[in-house]
Amino acid sequence: MDIQHTSSDSKGRYAVSAPEGGQAYMTYSRAGDTLMIIDHTEVPEALRGKGYGAALVERAVTDAREAGVKIVPLCPFAAAQFRRHTEWHDVLS
């Protein structure tokens, strides 16, 4: 999956376009240099259950590890992914 990441000083967005059409995305806010707050994940109905949302959260986890950042999953979907993937808890705040 080709996940695109855009960010500014205080906000960011991960997005992936599906070959079958549509785009899934996840947004976050930064609280200082070491905290990412995932606040929203949006996956169109036609793309649900195909792994797009999970891939977005996993990419944020990978990026957080590389940058030494912790994640607060305020978004219910992201929080559920963290409950499923205990191997991600090293970046959980």
Q: Domain tally for the chain?
A: 1
CATH number at residue 38: 3.40.630.30
> CA-CA-CA-CA torsion for 76, 77, 79, 80, nearest 10 degrees?
120
35 within a domain of the structure (yes/no): yes
Q: In terms of residue numbers, what domain contains 60? A: 3-85
Spatial separation of the C-alpha atoms in residues 56 and 62, rounded to whole Å: 10
93 within a domain of the structure (yes/no): no
The H helix count followed by the E strand count for the chain is: 2, 5
49 within a domain of the structure (yes/no): yes
Spatial separation of the C-alpha atoms in residues 28 and 32, rounded to whole Å: 13
Q: Tokens 């996840």 sit at which residue?
A: 26
Pairing of strands 11-17, 23-30: antiparallel
Cα Rg of the chain, angstroms = 12
Its pTM stands at: 0.94
91 within a domain of the structure (yes/no): no
User: What confidence score (pLDDT) does residue 10 get?
Assistant: 94
Q: pLDDT (tens digit, 0 to 9) for every residue of the chain, 93 residues total?
A: 899 999 998 999 999 998 888 999 999 999 999 999 999 999 999 899 999 999 999 999 999 999 999 999 999 999 999 999 999 999 999
70 within a domain of the structure (yes/no): yes
39 within a domain of the structure (yes/no): yes
10 within a domain of the structure (yes/no): yes
